[in-house]
């Protein structure tokens, strides 16, 4: 039968066999290899793009580290100038610091406002202790509403007084400034809030004490009230009111009477000073704005 195949038939059969073999090689070897090459090209392109972004990413990382370090240095300066020394690593020592701090802060704030020679500051500061239980000390922040205060002076002097709170020896937010009366005898009224941030090792307060309800030998602190500038506290173990503290509800000696009744209900344990007459004019919230006042100045 093979003898009947002509040369032409042999050539045709050879061509067909070659095509079949070539098709098999394409689908079995060449096509998967091409797909793999295409996939590798895509990976190489993506890696090249990431490599091109690496210098920029490294620079962003270095910039971020620098910003963090600058923020830490700024906060360290701010903490030294604004925050009292209260370390919560040891709760008993922290409790003693908390109990002493109201009188100290009241004095430094009174000294601060007394340096405003262009206005008359009406009122004073009375700050109570946060708690007698070392296990209930405020953490991570102690927020103390100082109350409502009034100053008398002309328009520009009152604004300068409010802005000076940015340079106070404590972190105080001044808000809700309202003006009444007629210049140069304007009355500026605002609220003030004190913020104290104690520190602790690794930002973790110390372990709670075995028994709550006051430090050993400190039972007399149940009789302690608010501490004001010029007042003193009863000794431990001797409950009773503070002795020698001036009345904080009335204006400071030498300040003119503004002609209106006292307004009760000021927070922080202090009566509001008299509110002056005239139409009230609501002013912007100055002395720190939203959040922490004057941080950028330190």
Q: Using CA atoms, how far apart are residues 126 and 114, in angstroms rounded to an integer?
A: 16
pLDDT of residue 3: 59
For residue 55, tell me if it sits in a domain. Answer: no
92 is a domain residue: yes
Q: How far apart are CA 18 and CA 12, in angstroms?
A: 10
Distance between CA atoms of 70 and 61, rounded to whole angstroms? 14
Task: Find, among 116, 99, 97, the residue nearest to 165 by Cα.
Answer: 116
Q: What is the CATH number of the domain that holds 141?
A: 3.30.70.60
Q: What is the structure's pLDDT at 288? A: 38
Phi, psi torsion values for 77, nearest 5 degrees: -65, -40
Residue 46 lies in a domain: no
CB atoms within 10 A of CB 214: 19
So what's the pLDDT on residue 78?
84
In a domain, 29, yes or no: no
Place of tokens 């009773």: 240
3-state secondary structure the chain: CHHHCCHHHHHHHHHHHHHHHHHHHHHHHHHHHHHHHHHHHHHHHHHHHHHHHHHHHHHHHHHHHHHHHHHHHHHHHHHHHHCCCCECCCHHHHHHHHHHHHHHHHHHHHHHHHCCCCCEEECCCEECCCCCCHHHCCCCCEEEEEEEEEEEECHHHHHHHHHHHHHCCCEEEEEEEEEECCCCCEEEEEEEEEEECCECHHHCCCCCCCCCCCCCCCHHHHHCCCEECCCECCCCCCCCCCECCCCCCCCCCCCCCCCCCCCCCCCCCCCCCCCCCCCCEECCCCCCCCCCCCHHHC
Q: pLDDT at position 192, please?
A: 97
pLDDT tens digit at each of 298 positions of the chain: 555 667 777 777 777 777 777 677 766 777 788 788 888 888 888 888 888 888 888 889 999 999 999 998 988 888 889 999 999 999 999 999 999 999 999 999 999 999 988 999 998 999 999 999 999 999 999 999 999 999 999 999 999 999 999 999 999 999 999 999 998 899 999 999 999 999 999 999 999 999 754 444 444 343 344 545 543 333 333 333 333 333 333 333 333 333 333 333 333 333 333 333 333 333 333 333 333 333 333 2
Containing domain of residue 234, as a range?
76-255+264-290
CA 53/CA 57 separation, integer angstroms: 6
Residue 21 within a domain: no
Q: Check residue 108 and give its pLDDT.
A: 96
- pLDDT of 295 reads 36
Q: Which backbone phi and psi does 297 adopt, to 5 degrees?
A: -80, -5
Q: Is residue 10 part of a domain?
A: no
Q: Is residue 296 part of a domain?
A: no
Task: Show the tokens assigned to 112.
Answer: 């601060």
Domain count, the chain: 1
Query: Which residue do the tokens 């009744």 mark?
Result: 261
In a domain, 68, yes or no: no
- Model pLDDT, residue 99: 96
């Amino acid at each position: 039968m093979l003898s009947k195949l002509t040369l032409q038939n042999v050539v045709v059969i050879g061509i067909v066999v070659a095509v079949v073999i070539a098709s098999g090689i394409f689908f079995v070897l060449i096509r998967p290899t091409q797909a793999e090459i295409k996939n590798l090209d895509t990976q190489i392109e993506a890696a090249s793009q990431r490599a091109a972004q690496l210098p920029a990413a490294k620079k962003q990382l270095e910039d971020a580290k620098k910003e963090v370090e600058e923020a830490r240095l700024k906060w360290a300066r701010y903490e030294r100038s604004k925050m009292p020394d209260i370390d919560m690593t040891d709760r008993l020592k922290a409790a003693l610091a908390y109990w002493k701090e109201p009188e100290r802060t009241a004095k430094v704030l009174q000294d601060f406002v007394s340096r405003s020679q262009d206005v008359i500051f009406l009122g004073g500061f009375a700050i109570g202790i946060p708690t007698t239980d070392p296990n209930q000390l405020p953490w991570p922040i102690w927020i103390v509403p100082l109350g409502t205060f009034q100053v008398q002076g002309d328009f520009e002097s009152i604004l300068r007084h409010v802005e000076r709170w940015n340079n106070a020896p404590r972190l105080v937010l001044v808000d809700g400034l309202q003006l009444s009366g007629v210049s140069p005898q304007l009355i500026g009224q605002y609220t003030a809030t004190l913020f104290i941030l104690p520190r602790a090792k690794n930002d973790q307060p110390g372990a709670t004490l075995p028994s709550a309800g006051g430090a050993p030998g400190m039972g007399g602190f149940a009789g302690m009230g608010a501490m004001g500038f010029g007042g003193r506290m009863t000794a431990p173990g001797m409950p009773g009111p503070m002795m020698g503290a001036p009345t904080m509800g009335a204006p400071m000696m030498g300040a003119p009477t503004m002609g209106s009744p006292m307004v009760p209900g000021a927070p922080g344990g202090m009566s509001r000073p008299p509110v002056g007459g005239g139409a009230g004019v609501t002013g912007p919230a100055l002395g720190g704005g939203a959040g922490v006042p004057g941080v950028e100045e330190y």
